[in-house]
Structure 1
Amino acid sequence: MNDTTTIKIKEINTDFEVRFLDHLSTEEQPLKETALSYLKYLLAGTAFGIILVKSEVISWFRIQEMFRLQSFHMYGLIGSAVITAIISVQLIKRFNIKTLGGEIIELPQKKFNKGQIYGGLLFGFGWALTGACPGPMFAQIGTGALVVVVTLLSALAGTWMYGLLREKLPH
């Protein structure tokens, strides 16, 4: 009896999958990182959270004002973030800027598909209904808005559901 295994090769679709598979395929030294080496990430996350709180990005009322077209505050913040990202990406491309670890930063071309429209609409409706975007959700919870835990659990359930149904969704 011949014992063979069939390997199903699927299309790699996310940046995370590409980085994860690349990590698996390279021979690296064993990790020698301690809890102290993660301190820089804790500090960066804390600083980012403080910025989110102070700029009122996590304010449910600010988010509702935005969706009701009653205030420019959130549009101004989002617009300045988009402009900063555009300038940053152009600088990375123009000067071949590398990561702190010396790795080349590659920005792969993305393919448009109609699922992005559906996903964007679903994301926007969820954001408008809950007053919580995935990034600031943790800052909202950190400030004591524990009702946002329900939104976080719902986002995790939606992510799990997407992974389950991904192959059956429109491309």
Structure 2
Amino acid sequence: MRTRGAILLATVVTGLGLGFTVANIGFGDYAELNRMFTFQDPRMLLSFGGAVVIIACVFALLRIRRTPGRVHAGVIPGAVLFGTGWAISGGCPAIPVVQVAGGYLPALVTIAGVVVGIRLCRWSNGRYFHLDRGSCGL
């Protein structure tokens, strides 16, 4: 059985490795992300494609399968909002942390936007929509 300390250590090491990799391949650079989203430089898209291939292989090796069933009602609008926000701000929720660590302080605005967006989602869902939160824990 794994101890909490071992799991924490593995999580920290993995997170540091991911942060190092993300910063070094340019995912923390707004200009690089802009070139990706405007299809001026395919390098970042190829990085994404490589990541998808790697995780697909890992899932196959571990025999992880998606359970068949309905797609949650919030997946499509959530994906559209996520992609739009990423294209505008130059970062998904993790990238602004990398940007701030690299000295790009305007990323604090993106982090604040993520926090406000989460709060608005919780409030509007509780008051108006009452959507099943599924496994995302909103």
Normalising to structure 1: TM-score of the pair? 0.64
Deviation sequence 1:10-54 (CA, Å, 0-9, x none): xxxxxxxxxxxxxxxxxxxxxx967x9844433332222111111
Q: 1:124 aligns with which of 60, 78, 83?
A: 83
How many Å apart are 1:135 and its aligned residue? Answer: 2.1
- The one-letter code sitting in structure 2 at the alignment partner of 1:93 is R
Unmatched tracts of structure 2, length 5 or more: 133-138
Q: Distance in 1 between matches of 2:8 and 2:24?
A: 25
Q: Among the aligned pairs, what percent are the same residue?
A: 23
Query: Per residue, is there more helix in 1 or in 2?
Result: 2
Which of the two has higher C-alpha Rg?
1
Contact 1:58 1:140 in 2 (8 A): yes
Per the TM alignment, residue 66 of structure 1 is displaced from its structure 2 partner at its CA by 1.1
Map of 1:166 onto structure 2: 125
Give the corresponding residue for 2:19. Answer: 49
Q: CA deviation at 1:65?
A: 0.5
What pairs up with 1:140-151 in 2 under 5 angstroms? 140-151=99-110
Asked whether 1:90 is paired with 2:64, we answer: no
Q: CA RMSD in A?
A: 2.6
- Structure 1 pair 52–115 and aligned structure 2 pair: CA distance change class (3 A): same
Aligned residues: 128
Q: Given residue 74 of structure 2, which amino acid in structure 1 is its aligned partner?
A: G
Question: In structure 2, what is the equivalent of residue 98 of structure 1?
Answer: none
Which runs of at least 4 in structure 1 moved beyond 6 Å after TM superposition? none
CA contact (8 A) 1:58 1:137 kept: yes
Please give the residue correspondences for 1:31-46 in structure 2 after superposition, counting only pairs within 5 Å: 38-46=8-16
Map 1:9-48 → 2, pairs under 5 A: 38-48=8-18
Tell me the TM-score normalized by structure 2. Answer: 0.78
Report the equivalent of 2:135: none
Deviation, 1:166, is 2.5
